[in-house]
Amino acid sequence: MKTDIFHLQIIPLKDILPHEYFDESRSLTLAKRLKKDNFLSNPIIVAPLGNHTYAQLDGMNRLSTFKKLGFNSILCQIVDYQDMDNVELSSWLHFINVNSHQFLKHLGKIKDLIVNKGIIDDVRNRYIQSEGFDKICTFVTEDFEVYLVTFGGSLLDKVKVLNEIVGFYNKDIVRSVLPQSSTKEAIKNLFKEHLKHRQMVSFPTFTRHQIMKIVKQHGFFPPGITRHVIKRRCLNVNLPFSVFNKNDSIGTQNRNLEQFLRQRKFRLYEEPTIYFE
């Protein structure tokens, strides 16, 4: 169903190219919940690639879980990736709980990776260069020591190295967002919000072009680095699993989707909201 406000469509899983790996620590819980619910609440977010294929922007865990559950298709919200007003890009922070010395030792073993001491002012929102040496992440210890991690090479090389870095701690990640004012006081306040996780890793923001380039090269970002903020995101659709019947064609599934949606009422919230969990 396509309206002036949203575009929802059931798309074959084979036509969706992921841009990131799924988070193993979250997928098992998600699979259990989906089996219990027997419906999909929130569509994944995709952008057209051409030739009836799509790039996954958000919802990788739902996508991978649907594959594990044996489905051939999934509900997607299709967005215009070039719409700067309605699709914003940034990056996540990772709060982790590791031995800082062992993590730094791990970084030191990665070929051509350079680690230097920095200062808290180096922890800020920034973009990354596609080619040549550039900072690919910043590590902040429990004692607020800052380490700048730099790597050269192509964009795909940088993404591969990021996977090596995140692979050290990917069993226990809590995501957060860097405040606009990344002062030492602001960073300390972030740490106070994550008392069970003693260190922080920040990442640069990747551009739309860079993300699409990685997708077309069949590369994968680590889970939970790229952050897409979608305005007018469809939530709480609660589409029954019966709509994804493998014996039905995609055309039939989408006709059933449209019939289902026409029976649902929705509200559009234009203003930012604060949701207490």
**β 44-50/73-78 pair status:** parallel
User: Which pLDDT score, from 0 to 100, does residue 271 have?
Assistant: 75
Residues 75 and 24 grouped into a single domain: yes
Domain assignment present for 66? yes
- Structural domain of 132: 89-228
CATH code of residue 156 = 3.30.1760.10
Residues 172 and 257 grouped into a single domain: no
User: Which pLDDT score, from 0 to 100, does residue 269 have?
Assistant: 82
Digit-by-digit pLDDT tens for the chain (277 residues) are 999 999 999 999 999 999 999 887 777 789 899 999 999 999 999 999 999 999 999 999 999 999 999 999 999 999 999 999 999 999 999 999 999 999 999 999 999 999 999 999 899 889 999 999 999 999 999 999 999 999 999 999 999 999 999 999 998 999 999 987 778 889 999 999 999 999 999 999 999 999 999 999 999 999 999 999 999 999 999 999 999 999 999 999 999 999 999 999 998 887 777 777 6
What is the distance of C-alpha 181 from the center of its chain? 23
User: Which pLDDT score, from 0 to 100, does residue 139 have?
Assistant: 98
User: Kind and range of the H or E element at 39?
Assistant: strand 39-40
Domain count, the chain: 2
Residue 101 in 3-state DSSP?
Answer: helix
- The model carries a pTM of 0.92
Residues 63 and 81 grouped into a single domain: yes
Domain assignment present for 3? no
Domain assignment present for 276? no
Residues 107 and 201 grouped into a single domain: yes
**Cα separation of 221 and 21, whole Å?**
6
The 10 Å Cβ neighbour count of residue 152 is: 16
User: Which pLDDT score, from 0 to 100, does residue 213 have?
Assistant: 97
Residues 124 and 158 grouped into a single domain: yes
User: Which pLDDT score, from 0 to 100, does residue 277 have?
Assistant: 63
**Cα separation of 231 and 227, whole Å?**
13
Residues 109 and 209 grouped into a single domain: yes
Domain assignment present for 273? no
Residues 241 and 149 grouped into a single domain: no
**Cα separation of 102 and 106, whole Å?**
6
Domain assignment present for 145? yes
